[in-house]
Amino acid sequence: MHTPHNTHFIRLEHITHAYATGASHHAVLHDVSLSIPAGQSCAIVGASGSGKSTLLNLIGLLDEPTSGRVVLAGQDMTRAGAASRAIARNRIIGFVFQSFNLLPRLNALDNVALPLLYRGIPQHQAREAARQQLKRVGLTARGHHRPADLSGGQRQRVAIARALVAEPSLLLADEPTGNLDSHTAQGIISLLLSLNRECGATLVVVTARRRHRRSHGALH
Ligand SMILES: Nc1ncnc2c1ncn2[C@@H]1O[C@H](COP(=O)(O)OP(=O)(O)OP(=O)(O)O)[C@@H](O)[C@H]1O
Ligand SMILES: [Mg+2]
pLDDT digits (tens, 9 = 90+) for 50-71: 999 999 999 999 999 999 999 9
Q: Domain coordinates of the chain in residue numbers? A: 39-64+82-216
Cα(51) to ligand 1 centroid in Å equals 6
pLDDT at 177 (0 to 100): 94
| Whether this model's pTM surpasses 0.85 | yes
Please name which of 170, 138, 136, 164 lies closest in space to residue 151, comparing C-alpha atoms.
138
Please name which of 45, 46, 63 lies closest in space to residue 54, comparing C-alpha atoms.
63
DSSP 8-state symbol, 142: G
Query: Which of 15, 16, 19 maximizes ligand 1 atoms within 8 Å of its Cβ, making it the mutation to test the pocket?
Result: 19
Query: Which residues of the chain carry a pLDDT beneath 70?
Result: 1-6, 209-220
pLDDT at 213 (0 to 100): 45
Contact 162, 116 (CB under 8 A): no
Alpha helices, DSSP H only, in 82-151? 82-92, 108-118, 123-136
pLDDT at 162 (0 to 100): 97
pLDDT at 209 (0 to 100): 58
Looking at the domain that runs over 39-64+82-216, which CATH code has it been given?
3.40.50.300
For residue 46, the ligand 1 atom closest to its alpha carbon is 21
How far apart, in whole angstroms, are the C-alpha atoms of residue 192 and residue 41? 9
Cα(21) to ligand 1 centroid in Å equals 12
For residue 175, the ligand 1 atom closest to its alpha carbon is 27
